[in-house]
Amino acid sequence: MSPSDAARRLAQDLPDIRTSEDPADRVAYARDLWPRHHLAVRAGNVAEHRPAGVVWPASTDEVSRIVRWAHDTRTPIVPFGAGSGVCAGVLPHDGIIVLDLKRMTRWRSLDAGARTLDVEAGQMGLPLEEDLNRRGYTLGHFPSSILCSTVGGWVAARSAGQCSGMYGKIEDMVLALECVTGTGEIVTLRHRTSGPNLIPLVVGSEGTLAIVTSATLRLHPRPKERAFAAFSFPSTEHGWEAMRAMFQAGLRPAVSRLYDPFDAMLARRGSVKKGGADAGGTPGLGAAALRRLLRRPGAINELLEGPFGSKVFGGALLVVIFEGDGPGPQNDVETIRALFETMRAKYEGEGPARKWLLHRYSVSYRQAPVFSAGLFSDTMEVAAPWSKLRGLYDGVRRALGKHVFVMAHLSHAYPDGCCIYFSFAGTAAARGGRDGWDERCEITYDRAWKDAMAAVIEAGGQLAHHHGVGRSKAPRMNSELGEGGVETVRALMRAFDPRGILNPGNLLPPPEPAPYVDDAHPKEVLA
């Protein structure tokens, strides 16, 4: 079947299910929010990966029928939530059908006694939490993308929310999953306390093993009280040692976020700066100074990361929020205050923590001005045990810092380790004028990612904590999992999806070099 026939035949064979091959729909579903795509859009290449068509099932039965059809016709399909992924988990071509689950939003059952909710995969994050709050519950899952992400997307990418310290990641909330495998079979996986537990295989599989159609999630009473505190530390390392001591002492703040000195300065401001970006097809003059500065990021990173940066920006900042009922949250704040005062902490009051909560989702909207100014920005979330955190922090900062301006915060901590969330911004190489600007930005971007991923592996860290792997990190999964690990995952894919029709090319290294990494790039960086 030719690519142009796939959507048409789907509509003919399943006429009662909503489908489209309209060019506008194909453009809308051509990508997720991988920042590397933004460079192509800025260059005028809006939708290079358009699917053959889009299908919107309204029930698990319809998903099953679509997948059986895809299995029989050998047509690859890509599950789609809200498209807010940042790792190229969605990258279709003109032979692929995108399967959008957003019509599947029903609450199937709310069990007040067990405090569980069975909800369909297309339910959007913020309406879900607001509806739960009105009933006296919380899921406790607050990813920065909560306004534009779905339950199914959370499960697929192994999502973490801003309150993971108290409630855990999404895998800690899932008690059962209803899924459709690559043959169209509907299966229900339940959390097991003995024998094989298949839920951890599907959580984080990014649409390659099965399509999640509903999830049974653990709920909590909506907290009635919050207690806020913020502390500054002489260095980022002093701050994470305090975080480690807090979690290993058995304390579980809902929010615990440690910012390096520069990121701490932004956190203290607590708002999104408006304006300052030039529009147009090429970088404008208004952002020229910033672009010039970021062409030589190494010296800037070294200056700001050292004692000078700490002194100028007021040191690292740790924001902590406890929640619950009665005096418990405030008592916990007093406990950590006494603990931190033995660790060179300075109490900063409640203000920074309250300001963070007020602007907790604002960071998700800072990218557009950066890209329109002729720059690029991205984030990289990695993790390691506490014993390896110093090496991971230094190694990734050093690797990224050769190419881009870097800042970092630590936003998900556990008794045994922590996630480091690097944010970075960069631009094209120093010479070459405006010719090929976006391609040269792309080269810098690719090299930064390549070196950073190598640094993660060398430090013994993990390449992803909660954004997923997608296609952006897949070429390096051999290094983290080893050949045996990769082959194990491939065997699971064959068991769940014998014909390989579910999101092919995602999650694992492709058989040939991917075009997204520097060593497969045909161009040279201009010095």
Q: For 429-444, write each residue's pLDDT tens digit.
A: 766 555 688 889 999 9
Residue 314 has a pLDDT of 81
Examine the pLDDT at 283 and tell me if it is beyond 50. no
Structure tokens at 71: 């299995």
Task: Report the alpha-carbon distance of residue 46 to residue 524 in Å, rounded.
Answer: 24
For 388, the 3-state DSSP assignment is: helix
Tell me the mean pLDDT in the region 309-319. 83
Tell me the mean pLDDT in the region 103-110. 98
Task: Report the alpha-carbon distance of residue 466 to residue 373 in Å, rounded.
Answer: 28
Q: What share of the chain has pLDDT > 90, as a percent?
A: 76
Task: Indicate the pairing of strand 97-100 with strand 77-80.
Answer: parallel
CA contacts within 13 A on the Cβ side of 453: 21
Q: Which residue has the tokens 């895998």?
A: 171
Instruction: Name every residue whose Cβ is closer than 8 Å to that of residue 91 and which is 6 or more positions away in sequence.
Output: 31, 32, 34, 49, 470, 471, 505, 506
CATH of 107-221, one of 3.30.930.10, 1.10.10.10, 3.30.465.10, 1.10.3290.10: 3.30.465.10
Examine the pLDDT at 428 and tell me if it is beyond 50. yes
Question: Containing H/E element for 175?
Answer: strand 174-181
Comparing 302-316, 345-359, 439-453, the range with the smallest average pLDDT is 302-316
Residue 194 has a pLDDT of 87
Amino acid identity of 483?
E
Amino acid identity of 421?
Y
Examine the pLDDT at 1 and tell me if it is beyond 60. no
Tell me the mean pLDDT in the region 192-203. 92
Residue 412 has a pLDDT of 97
Residue 473 has a pLDDT of 96
Q: Are 170 and 203 in contact (CB under 8 A)?
A: yes
DSSP count for the chain of H helices, then E strands: 19, 18
Give the model's confidence band at 514: pLDDT under 50 very low, under 70 low, under 90 confident, else very high. low
Q: Are 380 and 422 in contact (CB under 8 A)?
A: yes
Q: Are 516 and 444 in contact (CB under 8 A)?
A: no
Task: Report the alpha-carbon distance of residue 27 to residue 42 in Å, rounded.
Answer: 15
Residue 434 has a pLDDT of 56
Comparing 4-13, 169-178, 241-250, the range with the smallest average pLDDT is 4-13
Q: Are 103 and 19 in contact (CB under 8 A)?
A: no
CATH code, residues 3-100: 3.30.43.10
Class of domain 225-459: alpha beta
Phi–psi pair at 405, nearest 5 degrees = -80, 135
Examine the pLDDT at 485 and tell me if it is beyond 90. yes
Closest CA to 362 of 182, 162, 69, 122: 162
Q: Are 254 and 357 in contact (CB under 8 A)?
A: no
What predicted TM-score, i.e. pTM, was given to this entire model? 0.91
- 3-100 and 107-221, same CATH topology: no
**Whole-number average pLDDT of the chain:** 90
Question: Containing H/E element for 390?
Answer: helix 386-401
Give the model's confidence band at 47: pLDDT under 50 very low, under 70 low, under 90 confident, else very high. confident
Tell me the mean pLDDT in the region 80-91. 95
Residue 289 has a pLDDT of 64
Structure tokens at 481: 């999992």
* Domain boundaries along the sequence of the chain: 3-100, 107-221, 225-459
| CA 33 to each of CA 39, 188, 332, 364, 379: distance values in angstroms, whole numbers, following the listed order | 11, 30, 38, 11, 12
Examine the pLDDT at 46 and tell me if it is beyond 90. no
Residue 278 has a pLDDT of 39
Residue 435 has a pLDDT of 64
Residue 4 has a pLDDT of 62
Tell me the mean pLDDT in the region 202-216. 98
Q: Is 296 exposed, middle or buried (0-12, 13-18, 19+ CB in 10 A)?
A: exposed
Tell me the mean pLDDT in the region 505-520. 65
Residue 45 has a pLDDT of 84
Tell me the mean pLDDT in the region 367-391. 93
For 206, the 3-state DSSP assignment is: coil
Give the model's confidence band at 365: pLDDT under 50 very low, under 70 low, under 90 confident, else very high. low
Amino acid identity of 294?
L
